Amino acid sequence: MANIKQTVKLGVFTLAIMNVTAVVSLRGLPAEAVYGMSSAFYYLFAAIVFLIPTSL
């Protein structure tokens, strides 16, 4: 019997989800609750500044 090792590679979707969860972590939600709906601006800003350059 031959031992066959399969290497699993991370795909683009997996890396994208990992980046999104890094930006939108649960740890910061209580502090962001103070800002209310204006925190959506901060999420959008973080997506533009972090996620878009990462995808290039």
pLDDT of amino acid 1: 58
Give 48-56's long-range contacts (Cβ < 8 A, gap of 24+).
Answer: 50/19, 50/23, 51/16, 51/19, 51/20, 51/23, 54/19, 55/16
pLDDT along the chain (56 residues), means of 10: 77 84 77 81 83 77
pLDDT of amino acid 6: 81
What pTM, to 2 d.p., does this model score?
0.43
